[in-house]
Structure 1
Amino acid sequence: MGVPIQPARMREPFSGNDIRRWAQAMHYPNRLHYDSDYAAGSRFGGLLAPQSFCVAMDDAHGTGPSCVGLIPNSHLIFGGDEWWFYGQKVFPGDMLHNHRVALDYAVKETKFAGPTCFQRGDNYYYNQDGDLIAKQRSTAIRYNPDAAREMGSMGPSEDPEWSDEQIVDLENKKYDWIKMLHDLGHGKRWWDDINVGDVLPTRIIGPHSIASFTTEWRSYLFTLWCGVKRRTDLDMEALGFTDEMAGKEQDPVLELDNPEQTDGAYIGPSRGHLFPRWARHVGMPRAYGYGASMGAWILDYFSGWAGEWGEIVHSNCSYRAPSLAGDISIMDATVTEKSINEEGQHLVHVDFKMVNQDGVVSATAKAEICLPKK
């Protein structure tokens, strides 16, 4: 604990299409992040990345420093992310690196898999000028998949079915949130106009599918062949991952010889997300989404509401259950407090919850969002 691991480093600067790919994969239709003409009329004068984007450059979704040490016969899922943002934005042409330090761990008894290790690690994202953009404190949940299968707590293995009428209704509800983005446009959401008890507009994503999970996966730079500078200290077997899931994901030597053997979409611990057989192998009932993507949905929900003149200052998210194929994710939040911090920022405090169509809670969060003052 407290020892840095190898930093995550990019090969080439971000392009506008890297940002567009991320916004599309995260289902975030904020025109600041994909429409150059619209972005040119913003306060920034051009395309910029969402606040959720830093994690796209990392070779482990930000969970690298929260997965160190040998735990035999184990698998890993994301448990949560806490973010601090420092006002620096990410633009096309930027180069990021991530300084990563293991923080702490605790073993707890869970209904999901019995004895479970909760590990935390810190990520410090810097740009090419050395400016600190964000700090991410990631939580990894490391568990015995045999125990998870035996306890059978993850639900049915078949995707829920949605009628054509239900899909149309969902699309209309999803557009209500998109229209909120359009209505605010380049305008300001004033701190003065917000009251305790106000409810943020509902955001819906889904139904999730193997296709949508794959789209999300491919928006992370490390999922591309030679997309990032690979770590040389990453050894899935040394971490204790089960034999069938250890693989050679992200192996820098094998990538140059037979890159398909290093692609986490097909081989290694990440394939449980996209293949129901391997999802069940690690204790999940069917294909399931990425914790890092879930975290991005939450950050985008906050920042989309804040608008281009606002920003997230701090967010603390806990992931309670995976987003499974066939499910939808419904996001809501309520204003609980207004304050002014020591830096003079005018903050709105919100409580957040994300549930599926059956009301099962998949994530909760608390955040402080800075808004402009009249």
Structure 2
Amino acid sequence: MTTLQDTRDLDTPELGDQALAAARALLGMPIRIEQWNNEATRDTIRHYSWGIGDDNPLYSDPDYAAGTRWGSIIAPPTFFFAVFDAVVAPGLEDIQWYYSGIDAEFFQPMKRNDEIKASAEYVEAKKLEGRRVRNMVLQTGEVLYHNQKGELCTRVRSHTFRVARSGASDGLRYEPREKHVYTEAELDAIMTAQLEEFRRGAATLWWDDVQEGEDLPGTVRGPINQMDMTTYYAGAVGTTGYKSTKLKWRYTAWARNDPDKLPNNYDKCYYGAKVLPSIGHQDAKVAQSDLGMPGPYDNGPQRCGMLATVVTNWIGDEGEMLRYSARIKLPVIFGDTHRFAGRVTGKRIEEGAALVDLELWGENQLGQVTITGSATVKLKQR
């Protein structure tokens, strides 16, 4: 079988036998980070929150937030995506990046006017086989987010699939899927579900009242379109790959001629790629013909953030999310609508803390599960 190194001059390189070794050879490399947001300001928090459809006043209204236990605006748990998207997946030039999921721990919220510093380590690479692709490499990075006091706010293990594009013999090939068409009645129901979304807010959810097996109210998002993606990008992912006009060309030139100037030192393969990996989120032709996706698709961290809102809506202002994991299962393309849901799987007292464990998932309008997850939350006890 040909190797990645053998086929770099071809339009579509294979993910060959040597790819895993090439990926593992970079483990432990020093990681430089270019952050999109350096401060958790009133506006950066709001921009991110609105990008996942979360208009919780705890994240955007100073007067409301002042009356909560926090005393001021805080960021939603997944705001770390707006600081740095946590993707640490170096090497493998022109092999496509797909977000796989996260395992996150939250130690304290990021609060208004906190300065956040991210640091990262590339910690794992392994070979996987999927139902649609027989050869993938899964790369994992660990990212820490500290505030200006040096306090750890969030620890994230972020996972990224590397998959050959559709022109390769082992490339990804989904059948194209047309944008879903809804009836007026269906669109009215989708709108109503979002306008009437449950949010506990200032009311207290007592640990004592939670029952194992009970369902969380859930949320609805969509139908997703290009405007949704643009709004999310403005709040969250102006780091890797999302550059415009002069900056786009500057980063491309650095990748080709002087990669040491790139703020993210592992981005040579990203900005130097023949097909910019992120363009599939916008361009139907690239998504289908080059990347093998069913159509232009959503952003994985965006979906992770949307799923987490099921939890934060349910626990209210006084609850805390301690741990959160999510795994992307299927692509979500423009026109898809999501129903995110959750269920209580257990409750316990651990070192004096009243904890609840949750199972989470999201389904598109076709009934397909596109994301799964879990969370552990801390509640007040009577």
Shorter-chain TM-score tier: 0.7 to 0.9
Gap change, CA 1:10 and 1:151, over 3 Å in 2: closer
Counterpart in the other structure of 2:125: 105
SS in 1 for 2:181: coil
Deviations 1:129-180 (A, max 9, x none): 1110011100100010126898775343320111222111111122332xx2
Q: Matched residues in 2 for 1:73 and 1:56: separation?
A: 25
Counterpart in the other structure of 2:151: 131
Counterpart in the other structure of 1:324: 333
Which amino acid is 1:196 matched to?
A: E
Contact map agreement 1:113 1:147 (CA 8 A) in 2: no
Gap change, CA 1:283 and 1:356, over 3 Å in 2: same
Q: Matched residues in 2 for 1:232 and 1:10: separation?
A: 12
Counterpart in the other structure of 2:380: 372
Deviations 1:193-217 (A, max 9, x none): 0010110002111000111111111
- Percent same amino acid at aligned positions? 25
Matches within 5 A, 1:98-177: 98-146=118-166, 153-177=173-197
Aligned length: 337
SS in 2 for 1:29: coil
Q: Matched residues in 1 for 2:211 and 2:169: separation?
A: 46
Counterpart in the other structure of 2:229: 213
Counterpart in the other structure of 1:231: 263
Shift of 1:365: 0.8
SS in 2 for 1:218: helix
Counterpart in the other structure of 2:31: 5
Gap change, CA 1:72 and 1:4, over 3 Å in 2: closer
Gap change, CA 1:232 and 1:288, over 3 Å in 2: closer
Deviations 1:294-317 (A, max 9, x none): 111122221221111111111121
Q: Matched residues in 1 for 2:264 and 2:138: separation?
A: 25
Counterpart in the other structure of 2:321: 312
Q: Matched residues in 2 for 1:198 and 1:312: separation?
A: 18
Q: Matched residues in 1 for 2:204 and 2:117: separation?
A: 32
Which amino acid is 1:132 matched to?
A: L
Q: Matched residues in 2 for 1:198 and 1:111: separation?
A: 32
Contact map agreement 1:321 1:361 (CA 8 A) in 2: yes
Deviations 1:227-255 (A, max 9, x none): xx961514343x6x88422xxxxxxxxxx
SS in 2 for 1:146: coil
Gap change, CA 1:218 and 1:11, over 3 Å in 2: closer
2:224 matches 1:200:
no
Counterpart in the other structure of 1:261: none
Gap change, CA 1:236 and 1:278, over 3 Å in 2: farther
2:307 matches 1:302:
no
TM-score of the superposition, structure 1-length normalised? 0.84
What RMSD over aligned residues (CA atoms) do the two structures have, in Å?
2.3
Contact map agreement 1:52 1:300 (CA 8 A) in 2: no
Instruction: List gaps (5 residues or longer) in structure 2.
Output: 1-26, 248-260
2:104 matches 1:83:
yes
Which amino acid is 1:34 matched to?
A: S
Instruction: List gaps (5 residues or longer) in structure 1.
Output: 246-267
Q: Matched residues in 2 for 1:275 and 1:355: separation?
A: 24
